[in-house]
Copies of this chain bind each other. A is one copy, B any other.
Amino acid sequence: MSIQPAQMQVAPEAAVRAANRGFYAAFESLDIAQMEALWAHDEAVQCVQPGWDLLVGWEEVRGRWARIFANTKRAHIALSNEWVRVEGDVGWAACTARVTTASDEDFDEVLVQSTNIFIRRDGEWLAVAHHASAVPTSSNSTVQ
């Protein structure tokens, strides 16, 4: 008698949450192959990182990650305040990430707010958009 794979029974919200955590695990790994595996590789994927313009298309997005990883020796990411929502084959997560990185010359810790969008393809949730922006240490800045 065949047994259904366990992942068939995972609720979509839990699967998107796992995909979101996998995204940050890939970031921490600094392994471009691991990051590649969780994105859709199409011309419409989008990526915004703190202090950078929008990137569109897998080649650009992959290039950015490769460059970040090449310039980073170690990364540690602590997630908090995760919110996940799923509608059909699209899921998105909002979360706060405390990103600590070390390069040859520098050490950096930033708090970023992210919105990550995933689409389901053949049962797998793939990243299609990542928008991350710095959260000021004091959140009492201007209204705008």
| A contact set with B: CB distance below 8 Å | 44, 46, 48-54, 56, 67-68, 71-72, 81, 83, 85, 87-90, 92, 94, 96, 99, 101, 108, 110, 113, 115, 117, 119, 128-129, 131, 133-136, 139, 141-144
Contacts and interface: CB of A to CB of B under 8 A. Distances in A.
Contacts of A134: 133
- Which among A53, A128, A136, A139 has the highest number of chain B CB atoms within 10 Å? A53
Chain A, interface SS category: strand
A49 B141 CA distance: 11
A143 B50 CA distance: 9
A71 to B, nearest CB: 5
**Closest CB pairs A-B (n = 5):** A133-B133, A51-B141, A90-B90, A88-B88, A115-B131
